[in-house]
Amino acid sequence: MTILCCPSWCVGHTALPEDPLDGVMHYGPPAVLELSRSARPDVPDVLTVRLAAWSETASDCPGRTHLDVSISGKDGFDLSPHEARELAAVLQSQSVQAEI
């Protein structure tokens, strides 16, 4: 497969051959946080955030970039850049309140 149009931040991509569009998901380098309040303290959960963008075909340039968020490799959720900034603001505000 020839990828003609990777985003500058792409460090790897996954082709989904079962997808009828035969598209490609581009991924940025992961930011990984070990969570201290895991269900099982002996097996800490890991929060992973990375940039991602979908190309409809291997030769198409990707669409809008989003943030892919998952916990311990399970399916997570996607955030737009605006949603990520809103979430960051909420986390900042409430984390300060939590330490009062």
Give the torsion sign (CA, 83, 23, 7, 28): positive
Q: Which stretch binds Zn ion (CB under 5 A): 13-21, 34-42, 45-53, 80-88?
A: 13-21
- Give which of 79, 72, 34, 73 is closest to 52, Cα–Cα: 79
Count the residues of the shown chain that bind Zn ion, applying the rule CB under 5 A: 4
Task: By CB under 5 A, name the one of 4, 8, 20, 26 that touches Zn ion.
Answer: 26
Q: Which is nearer to Zn ion, 11 or 91 (CB)?
A: 11
- Cα(50)–Cα(47) distance, integer angstroms: 10
66 touching Zn ion, by CB under 5 A: no
Q: Which stretch binds Zn ion (CB under 5 A): 22-30, 46-54, 68-76, 78-86?
A: 22-30
CA distance to 6, 59, 69, 86, per residue, from 32 (Å): 23, 30, 10, 20
Task: By CB under 5 A, name the one of 6, 25, 49, 69 that touches Zn ion.
Answer: 6
* Residue 7, amino acid: P
* Binding stretches for Zn ion (CB under 5 A): 6, 10, 13, 26
